[in-house]
Structure 1
Amino acid sequence: MLTTSDRPVAHRPALTTTVAKEYVHRAALAEVFLTGWEKTGPDAFTVSAQWPRSHSFYVPAHGMHDPLLLCETVRQTFPLLTHVAYDVPFGHQLSWSRLQYSISPQALRMGSSPAEIEVHAVFSDIRYRRSLPAMMTMHLEVVRDGSPVAVVSTRFGCHSPAVYERLRTGRGNAREMFASAPRPSEPVSRVSVGRLRKEDIVLSPTQSPGRWLLRADTSHPVLFDHPVDHVPGMVLLEAVRQAGHASQPSWGTRIPTSMDISFHHYVEFAEPCWIEAEQAAEQPETDTRRTIRINAIQGDSYVFNATTEMTDVSAL
């Protein structure tokens, strides 16, 4: 008779799970795209991710994954690594200062299974406050099946609760601010921004060509996954994408293959935020790539400045 210790041990394959949702500042498990991480050198890491073939908001189109799925993957990467590798406690707030990416559209093509992604991240120019990072730059190379997908650079701050409270002095309680956010205004047409669902539109029309009102629908389950005291950065990236479409809707099947955005101030719920777009320079009508400049203004200040390159994927 075989005892327990004598039983042959069957080979068990490695099992894949997502990282804890708390590490990526998400409330919904379904919105976690990261599956693991490892340290590969001084301030260097590899993060694994999986991109689904279907998603309610980052909707595949033209047989390609949504480029903003890359941005959300990056957004999840920096809280994960600050928590697990740099011991930043839960409760600290992270804020974007700048994001730049350039993506290969061919690498976004859908396959017969979810896309397995590797993110090779290196931190630099780390500024510490009381042994914890207060400001960091992260450079990333994103790879799929050994082939390059994108290069990304981002800089962001890490704020303790006390520092964040000083930054947001006079703004009130986050949950109260979130609950009292104005109802979203009517959106622009779906076709003008390349969106299938009215609820996914983040721009409202104005009387001025190339100018829109930012539309923040706090009931959106992906863009507003949990209560916050300001409009999240991913909403602003979506505004850049949609303004790129709306500035020239006749361009057709274009996707944002690059962005360079600098964030200057938090975007508040209680004040209107205006999104303005213009073509960066005279560009030939037959060109498959167009560069658009997009600015956001709230009160008397620019809250962000961005450029995005929109690429016609029908020509690829």
Structure 2
Amino acid sequence: MSANTLRVERATPGAQRTETDRRAATRSAALRYPSLTTTVPKEFVHRASVAEVMLTDWERRDEHRFTVTAQWPRSHTFFTSVNGCHDPLIAAETLRQAGTLLAHAEYGVPLGHHFLMWDLSLTVWPEHLLVDGAPTSLDIDIVCSDFKMRGDSLAGFRYQTVMRRAGQVVATGGASFTCMAPKVYQRLRSNRRNSAGPQLPLTAPAAPQNVGRVSPMDVVLSPVGQEGRWQLRVDTRHPVLFEHPVDHVPGMMLLEAARQATVATTGQCATPLSVTAEFSRYAELDTPCMIEARSLRRTGDEESVEVTGHQSGELVFRSTVTVAVPLT
């Protein structure tokens, strides 16, 4: 399905119109403003709320090259500004949405299919992330590659992105995922669903100021009395992290856990400069997920922290977060 399917052609300025044209224009006046900004269909980016859709349009440039447009609000209930900059994780969410959009709208993956992200990387330029007096509009160049097929159906691909704001590069990054039909997903998860116990009770949050948050509701780490170690705090009522019902911990929540663990480890509530993550398996809702962080290196005014998550002794994800720290 092409993006053009959802668009209405602009009327040519100065062109002569017949009476029939005028009547048709009157009947469809509401559809003759294709330059007005709206979001892409929320179903294409796996959101239940239109308010959580970051993407506004897309266009195919070449066989596997696309331009996607997006808009970030000046403020967001969860992706809050850091030192006057947009939260880099809103860029990660935008990157995630871009992949699902293209999979559905351009590569024919049916709605209702399940997506499993295997890795994500993101690098940002904080000087171009400053929150301005208006929402931030973005142009995103995307190249898709490494396609995986299941019979005649697309089963996944990798994509690389460059996000620009008024021509300036804001972020670069990429991700890969696989997708599967509902019946395949049900078979994959059937043993887990049959053996899953009741959801874990909600644990107490770490002190918000220690993990770079203001509200305890947004804290995803619970202290366990060990330095550099926490239990993932899973609040399925959170309106953004659990924006719609799911049977596992969302990848964006694991990225947030990595970011919060990095803040706690470095003692700096700084804008992350880069994030990489690899996801090994589903993080289940009924089993404690232990988060561990260790400082990897400090080079000049940057420090990198490795964050891992384990459930029942098995690695769930591994992430490296690099932040700017003041010189001492």
Q: What's the TM-score once normalised by structure 1's chain length? A: 0.90
Cα displacement (A) at 1:205: 0.2
* 1:221-251 residue CA offsets vs partner (Å, 9 max, x unmatched): 00001110000000000001000001122x3
Residue correspondence of structure 1 range 175-186 to structure 2 within 5 A: 180-186=198-204
**Amino acid across the alignment from 2:312:** G
What's 1:39 paired with? 60
Find 1:199's aligned residue among 211, 217, 238: 217
Does residue 143 (structure 1) correspond to residue 170 (structure 2)? The answer is no
Partner Cα separation in structure 2 for residue 61 and residue 127 of structure 1: 38
Cα displacement (A) at 1:151: 1.2
Find 2:76's aligned residue among 47, 55, 76: 55
Does residue 229 (structure 1) correspond to residue 250 (structure 2)? The answer is no
Aligned residues: 304
Cα displacement (A) at 1:172: 2.3
Cα displacement (A) at 1:306: 1.1
* 1:176-234 residue CA offsets vs partner (Å, 9 max, x unmatched): 979x5223200000110110111000000011100000011000000001110000000
Other structure's SS at 2:100 match: helix
Other structure's SS at 2:147 match: strand
Does residue 273 (structure 1) correspond to residue 304 (structure 2)? The answer is no
**Amino acid across the alignment from 1:232:** P
* 1:102-150 residue CA offsets vs partner (Å, 9 max, x unmatched): 1111110111111001111111110111222212111111111111111
Does residue 114 (structure 1) correspond to residue 135 (structure 2)? The answer is yes
What's 2:278 paired with? 262
What's 1:213 paired with? 231
- RMSD between aligned alpha carbons? 2.3
Partner Cα separation in structure 2 for residue 177 and residue 301 of structure 1: 16
What's 1:83 paired with? 104
Retained in 2: the 8 A contact 1:124–1:138?
A: yes
Unmatched 5+ stretches in structure 1: none
Does residue 239 (structure 1) correspond to residue 257 (structure 2)? The answer is yes
Unmatched 5+ stretches in structure 2: 1-17
Find 1:167's aligned residue among 170, 188, 210: 188
Q: Which runs of 4+ in 1 moved over 3 A?
A: 3-7, 9-13
Other structure's SS at 1:80 match: helix
* 1:60-110 residue CA offsets vs partner (Å, 9 max, x unmatched): 131110100001101111111100001101111011101111111111011
Partner Cα separation in structure 1 for residue 42 and residue 205 of structure 2: 31
Identity within the alignment, %:
42
What's 2:43 paired with? 22
What's 2:89 paired with? 68
Partner Cα separation in structure 1 for residue 266 and residue 274 of structure 2: 17
**Amino acid across the alignment from 1:62:** N
Partner Cα separation in structure 2 for residue 84 and residue 198 of structure 1: 38
Find 2:122's aligned residue among 97, 101, 104: 101
Retained in 2: the 8 A contact 1:44–1:123?
A: yes
Q: What's the TM-score once normalised by structure 2's chain length? A: 0.87
Find 1:133's aligned residue among 131, 137, 154: 154
Find 1:248's aligned residue among 246, 249, 266: 266
Retained in 2: the 8 A contact 1:177–1:229?
A: no
Retained in 1: the 8 A contact 2:115–2:179?
A: yes
Retained in 1: the 8 A contact 2:82–2:270?
A: no
Partner Cα separation in structure 1 for residue 273 and residue 175 of structure 2: 16
